[in-house]
Structure 1
């Protein structure tokens, strides 16, 4: 007989200090056995997760505004994902798609082919991680064009493998001490950081001129691909200036360069549309998905023009775990969760609720210089109000205050001065408001010491744990 666990209360609760004694004990064990190369945002060990709550081993319930870095968008215990995975586990866990086939791989590919932007015939290849998707996109572009070079952008993040580290802009912690990196990667200016706050209406034009100049300096006919995030994630949740992505599309078309849209963090409903590039009405020749695609299991995809995807010789793409059947089953569960449109609506409701709390801080707190993002992919940037010099110290202080109060937020940005919010799309409205109230108080406190956050241990929330009754 299988007993279902009782629903996890969708309310913040502090039973102990954060971290608690059991988490502290387990963290000491971790330090004795796990490489110190792995960092940790908050040293708590999770026992259960559901909706917008993480419950740790000490009985604390934390508000999850991180979603495992945009992975558990449909929730960390989504019933659709659980059912699909359980059914697949009863059948088999692995065969390797390159050895014997299974139809869940094809079903995932068909779903992506039908929904990824672009009015052209598509094909999809599945892999395990975002970095794999990026590297395979470069392989496909090089195979199709016969060219070698890759164009990337300021503030970009594309992964932790050697090639994707070369493509990533941020040095510490991602690239520090790990070189030399593969050659053939060139970095161009982008039009994201603070363009709206500075009122630079020509930001896109200026950046696009820089892109064209770089291409001309090195020979546009030598570039296989240009790779861009429709909202730059680790770089600071940077929304492109109007016209920048469409300008890149025009440049790529003019020079025969494959435009790769990296939707690994921004895609799969995170912004209120299935793909963030839809806001710009721009389709990549190749589009990359991962993170939320597998609902917590490792799965990534490259989806693109059939003639490009089929340009690779047979056997040239693959991997032992590429498109693992259990991960594919999880993706099918994710697709089911998006069917009724509730999750996309929730993302927009999350944005409205967060902006209502955070945007007034632009006038109230000097070091808050930008509140930006789309849907449930939002950020607050801290900098000197006159010089815009990054204030990583403020972001760190805000994050620490939130964590102490049981609200999990993440720091990001090329300069470490941005708090990013990635709540699951199933978070309850009251729970979200509670988390945002703690965040707001932490920001005010970090700027005006002595106005500290008042600790409290429980906040009532709606029992379904969903903004619009998503299940």
Structure 2
């Protein structure tokens, strides 16, 4: 099957062609089976073709396949927003809008922030990833490959170090950098918002320092700055809770949703304080496909499956399996096995040299070895040296152990 008609600017991690999947397993067009630790890059927390999601899609497809909500509202959109507002673990009244993707949610959040504050400056963090659209490119805390050759980006956007035990950046260091930023680069009174991932995804599954999160919330309250939590990858049970910001003990003003919101069907959302979502003029928010009825039906089935009990059980089972294996590998002294990053079932395994420096060449080698052995992995981190583990939360224990067995065997082959 030729790929000549596909842009060569799209980077492919695994040069295979998939045919079908079931929960945590996929098969390519040659019939080869793989255990999927990629999960569509965090989209498939409920696995491939979850029966309830598939049934909801099929039923909705016989009723209404599309209507632009801003032309005429439809029931699936209204029901989903009611369910989402109850699902978001905050004390304030929640309002929101549906989008086609997480990046579109981030773009709309920037519009909402500008309308609410009258300010334009945004502060993001090193290692951040918020999307591939022109405005979100500027939020990303990484140049290559996202910002290369695209010219001047919308702004103003400033970046601060991301404090985490997983990258060695302390709360004090991040606060000192913030103090310098407001002393040298921009007046704090001109800042509209901070946008931050409670656990960085592309950055290597780095968990935000809790002390810094509280300091950031206090600053935002004192200076009338809005705080946006990007839960696109960390949300919908990835850390064992509905959303990762809950472990921080703070409430953001706006929350970005996407990826696993609808069991694999494209959908996103920006939700938050009702007064913020209502501040733009009529027609200021919307979109032709945003909140498509089939996507809404899939999201409603997803929420049905994501009870707190299920999320806690799935998250703890997967976390215990990964942490236990990683400890064994470190005890055995497996070469290149570095630290374990992240929280809950959102875990990364760092590949490092004996001196602690990143080992991206070994990770590249590992991707090929694991694929040949029937396991799909995804890289992350500034140096592309951290394995991003995103197996479906619903992965059967035996399949998860099989995947970890393959990973262990391939780690032992690294040179």
Could you tell me how far apart the structure 2 residues matched to 1:242 and 1:251 are? 14
Provide Cα deviations, 1:253-274, integer angstroms capped at 9, x if missing partner. Answer: 1211100000000001111001
Superposition deviation, residue 223 in structure 1: 0.9
Q: 1:40 to 1:77 in 2, by over 3 A?
A: same
TM-score by length of 2: 0.96
Provide Cα deviations, 1:305-362, integer angstroms capped at 9, x if missing partner. Answer: 0111111111001111111111111101101111373244112211110111113333
Selected match of 2:349 from 380, 383, 391: 380
Aligned to 2:78: 106
Paired residues for 1:135-214 under 5 Å: 135-192=107-164, 194-195=166-167, 203-214=170-181
Aligned to 2:93: 121
Superposition deviation, residue 376 in structure 1: 2.2
Could you tell me how far apart the structure 1 residues matched to 2:174 and 2:354 are? 23
Aligned to 2:334: 365
Matched-pair contact (CA < 8 Å) for 1:144–1:308: yes
- Secondary structure of residue in 1 paired with 2:245: helix
Aligned to 1:309: 277
Could you tell me how far apart the structure 2 residues matched to 1:425 and 1:418 are? 20
Query: Whose Rg is larger?
Result: 1
Q: 1:193 to 1:169 in 2, by over 3 A?
A: farther
Superposition deviation, residue 368 in structure 1: 2.6
- Secondary structure of residue in 2 paired with 1:244: helix
- The answer to whether structure 1 residue 224 and structure 2 residue 196 are counterparts is no
Selected match of 2:201 from 233, 237, 256: 233
Superposition deviation, residue 67 in structure 1: 0.7
Could you tell me how far apart the structure 1 residues matched to 2:271 and 2:131 are? 18
Aligned to 2:252: 284
Q: 1:368 to 1:193 in 2, by over 3 A?
A: farther
Could you tell me how far apart the structure 1 residues matched to 2:7 and 2:312 are? 38
> Over aligned residue pairs, what C-alpha RMSD do you find?
1.5
Selected match of 1:298 from 241, 256, 266: 266
- Secondary structure of residue in 2 paired with 1:445: coil
Could you tell me how far apart the structure 2 residues matched to 1:211 and 1:74 are? 39
Q: 1:151 to 1:424 in 2, by over 3 A?
A: same
Matched-pair contact (CA < 8 Å) for 1:359–1:371: no
Matched-pair contact (CA < 8 Å) for 2:204–2:341: no
Could you tell me how far apart the structure 2 residues matched to 1:340 and 1:117 are? 11
Matched-pair contact (CA < 8 Å) for 2:241–2:311: no
- Secondary structure of residue in 2 paired with 1:427: coil
| Superposition misfits of 4+ residues, deviation over 4 angstroms | none
Aligned to 1:261: 229
Could you tell me how far apart the structure 2 residues matched to 1:333 and 1:183 are? 38
- Secondary structure of residue in 1 paired with 2:62: helix
Provide Cα deviations, 1:197-222, integer angstroms capped at 9, x if missing partner. Answer: x6x7xx11221232233134311111
Matched-pair contact (CA < 8 Å) for 1:117–1:282: no
Superposition deviation, residue 385 in structure 1: 4.1
